A and B are shown apart, each in its own frame.
Chain A
Amino acid sequence: MLTFTLRRLLTAIPTLLVISFVIFGLLELAPGDPLADQPLTVPPEVREKMRVALGLDQPFYIRYVLWLKQFFWIEPLYTIDSLFGTSFAEGEQRIVSWQFRAPVFDVIWQRLPQTMWVVGMAYLVGVLIALPIGIVSAYRQYSWFDQVGTFVSMIGFSVPTFFTGVLMIVIFAVNLGWFPSIYDTTLRVTDWESFKRQVAQMVMPVAVLALFNASQISRFMRASMLDNLNQDYVRTARAKGMTEPVVVLTHVLRNSMIPVVTVIALGVPTIFGGAIITEQVFKVNGLGQLLITAIYANDLPMVQTLTFIFAVLIVLFNLIADILYGLLDPRIRYD
């Protein structure tokens, strides 16, 4: 297993290098000028100086290699410096966002908590409600519970979050006034009162996203359970005289979890990617919102870095899913 993991990590390096190059190349080819927002009164020679200050006078490949150096060498050194108080990276140029005039990673660290709280919580809630729903739906196939579950997950699948989100705002924020329609990032949880406010502002975005996640995962869970429920070994377990909870939870569920765990693991990177639309609807200034504003502003270093981090996470969680598969299924052994 260790050799397998190391080998996969090694093969991930060229993969990620190619991905980073493709992202950089695509952004280079994309139309748009980072200085387009500057007033027209700025004289051309000043504009040219600003361009030089952003490093845009350099050719494409030099800027790419420079970004690589900053991402893989200087930023880790900065992290070490800030953790241990050393000064390895002193005086080195970090990746700076063009729109914020601040290091990209500082901005990401500011935005990460909101995304983790809202999108991460939604994923967790989604998984936690999806698994029991999937199990019961499969065990009582075609019962009213299964029918309702199928209907709700069909809605969760097919109705986009910009619709459910706005619908919830209209019902619960405008008409009923239960929850705020805008997520207040400046809120600090210090006491019971602020905690309640934090929960109240999280309810709607989490609910919208959890519905979407749960409908997907509960379908997987149900299908996987159904695959296993009719297997001979389930009949064997019943013939052994096992109680029904043992049959379903030990025999069927443990086997059904193999594909579901993979699906769940592969979905984790999407948390970090943020939920671009939902974050926009509820004004959660998380990573998804950061990415979309960076794209609008032609903030190439920010877009490049964020997209590349998503790529790293996807490659990483693919590996984690593969390792989990090996741990869960005795028929699969690496090495």
Chain B
Amino acid sequence: MSDGGLPTGGPSARKLVEVRNLKMHFPIYAGLFRTRVGEVKAVDGVSFDIYEGETLGLVGESGCGKSTCGRAVLRLYEPTSGSIRIDGREIATAGFETLRKMRPTMQMVFQDPQASLNPRMTVAAIIGEPLDEHTSLSKAEKLARIYELMDAVGLNRNFANRYPHAFSGGQRQRIGIARALALNPRFIVCDEPIAALDVSIQAQVVNLLEELQEKLGLTYLFISHDLSMVRHIADRVAVMYLGKIVELAPRDALYARPLHPYTQALLSAVPEPDPNIEERRRRIILRGDVPSPANPPKGCNFCTRCPKVMPVCRDVEPAFAEVEPGRFTACHLYDATIMKTAGETAAPEAQSTSDKVQQGA
């Protein structure tokens, strides 16, 4: 597998996270004796790098495996196979104690700020618990650290002894962020941290995340289905479809000129605020449903819905390759050898399917 793309902070930037061919399959048990009849391939061989200090956006539709990928990267799930190196240390196969000792480096901000906080613990206990476990601070030092963290995320210190249910959604997400920051992590997986919040609060939380990144030099994996928010916060963006990354590129390049047909369709769905442009905008409407991850199609995962499908797509799985400097995609359209040999035969079908592309109203 090739390198994970050009760093945004110049070629000297260090890779903090290296994920190689990560697979997360969930077994399906059925029948009288609960025998294993198959598996849901939630994440099926993804590879990417995250450079120190950058934000990698991970986008895709519901159920494409974004969150599973984020959790597997922190080994909150046991990955089926693949390698995850954070700061040079392999965590996919690390033993439980080793992993636990590495937890302070990598943290997670969860999607649901209500469910991710233990309802029976006060804010101070939630933020302070990792300090008990991983540091030997005195009681006073710990309290000072808790207050410091609450200040950092903009929470009133007087609320330290309240329970999570007494806070609003945005405040709860701040508690979740303070909690994640408690042990000075270097890498934070933000699993749709703003999806459950009001739009006005979303901006606050995203700005807070950016501020903290600047101040503390954090590295983010920002999982979201909100394309405009990812455009705002991410340096590079990875697009997932049915358990695989179909495209990975620097943000501006990706938004300006998406390569993979799925990315094109996805970006065409972002509404345009200017009504004049919105009126003339072409939307690519995908037909059909996402195939089941328990039974993905042969060949390219996207071949059942791709407007530019070619016969080869139904047979051969496209490799995830660097097609332009820093731009990776998994699509036969950018594979010179396939396009040359299959060019003539593929043309008619490509033509007919492109008619199916819907025009925007």
Contact = CB atoms under 8 A, between A and B. Distances in A.
A242 B120 contact: no
Interface stretch (B101-109, B144-152, B265-273): B101-109
Contacts of A231: 115
A251 B126 CA distance: 11
A325 to B, nearest CB: 12
Interface string A231-253: 11101111111111010000100
Given A241-B134, A242-B133, A243-B133, A236 B117 contact: yes
Nearest to B185: A239
Contacts of B104: 241
- Contact-residue bracket for chain A: 20 to 34
Interface in A227-281: 231-233, 235-244, 246, 251, 254-255
A236 B134 contact: no
A240 B109 CA distance: 11
Main secondary structure of the interface of A (DSSP, over half): helix
A236 B74 contact: no
Contacts, number: 71
B287 interface: no
B115 A233 contact: yes
Contact of A233 (B74, B111, B116): B116
Interface string B92-104: 0000100011111
B247 to A, nearest CB: 29
Contacts of A246: 133
A188 interface: no
A233 B76 CA distance: 12
B163 A236 contact: no
A329 interface: yes
A235 B34 contact: no
Contacts of B129: 237, 240, 242
A275 to B, nearest CB: 35
Given A241-B133, A242-B129, A330 B119 contact: yes
Contacts of B41: none
Contact of A330 (B74, B102, B120, B130): B120
A235 B130 contact: no
Nearest to B103: A241
A142 interface: yes
Nearest to A241: B103
Interface string A301-335: 00000000000000000000000000011110000
Interface string B20-45: 00000000010000100000000000
A236 to B, nearest CB: 5
B34 A142 contact: yes
B112 interface: yes
Interface in B121-172: 129-130, 133-134, 163, 165
B166 to A, nearest CB: 9
Contacts of A328: 120
B165 A239 contact: no
A240 B179 contact: yes
Interface of B: 29, 34, 71, 74, 76, 96, 100-104, 107-108, 110-112, 115-120, 129-130, 133-134, 163, 165, 176, 179-180, 183
10 residue pairs, one from A and one from B, having the closest CB atoms? A241-B103, A232-B116, A232-B115, A330-B163, A240-B130, A233-B118, A331-B165, A241-B100, A239-B108, A236-B116
24 contacts: A231-B115, A232-B111, A233-B115, A235-B108, A235-B110, A236-B110, A236-B117, A237-B118, A237-B129, A239-B76, A239-B103, A240-B103, A240-B129, A240-B130, A240-B133, A241-B101, A241-B102, A241-B134, A251-B118, A255-B118, A255-B119, A255-B120, A328-B120, A329-B119
Interface of A: 142, 231-233, 235-244, 246, 251, 254-255, 328-331
Given A240-B130, A246-B133, 8 more contacts: A142-B34, A235-B71, A239-B103, A241-B100, A241-B101, A242-B130, A243-B100, A251-B118
